[in-house]
Amino acid sequence: MAINNVASELSPEVPARNVPDLWNRDHNHVSTMLWDGRLEVTKAIDKGRLVSPEGLSTTGFENLMALQSVRPIYIPAEMLGEPGPSNDLAPAGTTGFKPDDVLARVSSLLIAGEAEETASGEGYWVLFRDSYGLATAEDVRPFHLGNALAHYIEIEFQSRNTPWDRYLAGDLTALTEKQKRGALLFYGIGKCAVCHSGDVFSDFGFHSVGVPDNRENKDLGRYYATGEVEDRFLFRTPPLRNVTLTAPYFHNGQAETLADAIQQHLNPYRFIRAYAESGEHLMELAEVEAISPVLSATAQLTNEQVLLLASFLSSLEDADAMPAPN
């Protein structure tokens, strides 16, 4: 449930991406969703406003998690497949989907169909009726689905009881000696906490750490959300709770192990002289120039220190995050 796989999280023009995990996405510090932050809460004067640039109405959705929860239903690369004769969710004569129409149709099919098939009168429809005070199954709207899923994720994917949490609460035995030494590196010369800050270990900013992309259609990252040239190749800082459970790492799953991911941060320029199969440089000049200046002064750590950092990150793993073996 916590393990990532490389799959698309966006519309068809965006290359396939490593699917982000769901841990603690209900946290108040979470202001953006997805690698490019295209789902976000604006910093309005009075209160945040949900933003989705994909044509989906955000009315009725309680939070970002609710909005994110319904995206796989209307993003073609996720679950629907491409529009065609066999796909009755695609408006006739069109080459794309209208998110609101698709979600309304799916909501009706899921809930109304389930209500008809449940002879006992129990099931999802009854739960939706009792929870939201709905008169008929046709009254179930997309935001009902999103809000219900978000509440489930909030409960099932919370991670707040890690060795690190217990250590901060006063249990000085909660961390091993290696984890303590790794913490000193994380908050010290490793400079990891400059971006991986706060309770969920992310500033929710957008940076490049020099991760190579050997696909012909390179992922332009934050650019897809903003359209700003200076945002090309920037990706959101991923939170680190339960990071030991979510390999592979980075937006394209380029790093197979946590040690590889750490090494990439420590030496973000290590692939600038590498070549792609085509014979061209693996990274173009714009990718190199996008690398965060925060990393330019990162200390060179030994292999032993890298392992200490990985040990500290293991202290962010919640024992309840993985199902107990049968």
Q: Are 212 and 41 in contact (CB under 8 A)?
A: no
Task: Tell me, yes or no, whether 86 lies in a domain.
Answer: yes
Q: Are residues 42 and 132 in the same domain?
A: yes
Across 42-69, b (16+ Cβ under 10 Å) vs e yields eeeeeeeebbbeeebeeeebebbbbbbb
Q: Are residues 135 and 177 in the same domain?
A: no
Q: Are residues 219 and 117 in the same domain?
A: no
**Furthest CA-CA distance within the chain:** 66
Average pLDDT of every residue of the chain: 80
Q: Are residues 210 and 305 in the same domain?
A: yes
Q: Which of 109, 124, 156 is the last residue of a domain?
A: 156
Check pLDDT > 50 for residue 28.
yes
SS (H, E, C) 217-234: CCCCECHHHHCCHHHCCE
Q: Which pLDDT band holds residue 234 (cuts at 50, 70, 90)?
A: very high
Q: Are residues 149 and 171 in the same domain?
A: no
Q: Which range in 101-110, 229-238, 272-281 is most confidently predicted, on average pLDDT?
A: 229-238
Q: Are residues 192 and 137 in the same domain?
A: no
Q: Mean pLDDT throughout 5-26?
A: 68
Check pLDDT > 70 for residue 188.
yes
Which residues are CB-neighbours of 298 under 8 A, at least 6 positions away?
Answer: 190, 191, 265, 266
Check pLDDT > 60 for residue 17.
yes
pLDDT of res. 185: 96
CATH number of the domain at 233, please: 1.10.760.10
Task: Tell me, yes or no, whether 123 lies in a domain.
Answer: yes
d(CA 168, CA 321): 20
Poorest-confidence range of 117-121, 223-227, 264-268, 308-312?
Answer: 117-121
Tell me the torsion sign for CA atoms 51, 97, 223, 15: positive
Task: Tell me, yes or no, whether 185 lies in a domain.
Answer: yes
Q: Are residues 113 and 174 in the same domain?
A: no
Q: How many residues does the chain have?
A: 326
Q: Which of 156, 182, 201 is the last residue of a domain?
A: 156
Q: Are residues 113 and 241 in the same domain?
A: no
Task: Tell me, yes or no, whether 255 lies in a domain.
Answer: yes
Q: Which of 126, 156, 186 is the last residue of a domain?
A: 156
Task: Tell me, yes or no, whether 323 lies in a domain.
Answer: no
Q: Are residues 167 and 128 in the same domain?
A: no
pLDDT tens readout for residues 96-105 = 556 666 666 6
Task: Tell me, yes or no, whether 188 lies in a domain.
Answer: yes
Amino acid occupying residue 113 = G
Q: Which range in 157-161, 194-198, 274-278 is most confidently predicted, on average pLDDT?
A: 194-198
Task: Tell me, yes or no, whether 242 lies in a domain.
Answer: yes
d(CA 248, CA 180): 25
Task: Write the CA distances from 244 to 21, 68, 210, 266, 315, integer angstroms.
Answer: 12, 23, 21, 18, 9
pLDDT of res. 4: 40
pLDDT of res. 251: 93
Pairwise pLDDT comparison (326 vs 154), residue with the higher score: 154
d(CA 51, CA 42): 7
pLDDT of res. 312: 98
Query: How many separate domains does the chain show?
Result: 2
Q: Are residues 213 and 301 in the same domain?
A: yes
Q: Are residues 151 and 206 in the same domain?
A: no
Q: Which pLDDT band holds residue 3 (cuts at 50, 70, 90)?
A: very low
Q: Mean pLDDT throughout 260-278?
A: 90
Q: Are residues 147 and 188 in the same domain?
A: no
| Domain that residue 134 falls in | 6-156
d(CA 318, CA 241): 8
d(CA 161, CA 27): 14
Q: Which range in 100-114, 132-146, 242-256 is most confidently predicted, on average pLDDT?
A: 242-256
Poorest-confidence range of 20-29, 52-61, 145-154, 254-263?
Answer: 52-61
Task: Tell me, yes or no, whether 324 lies in a domain.
Answer: no
Q: What does pTM read for this prediction? A: 0.81
Pairwise pLDDT comparison (36 vs 127), residue with the higher score: 36
Judged on CB neighbours under 10 Å (0-12, 13-18, 19+), 228 is exposed
Poorest-confidence range of 35-49, 161-175, 179-193, 285-299?
Answer: 35-49
Check pLDDT > 50 for residue 89.
no
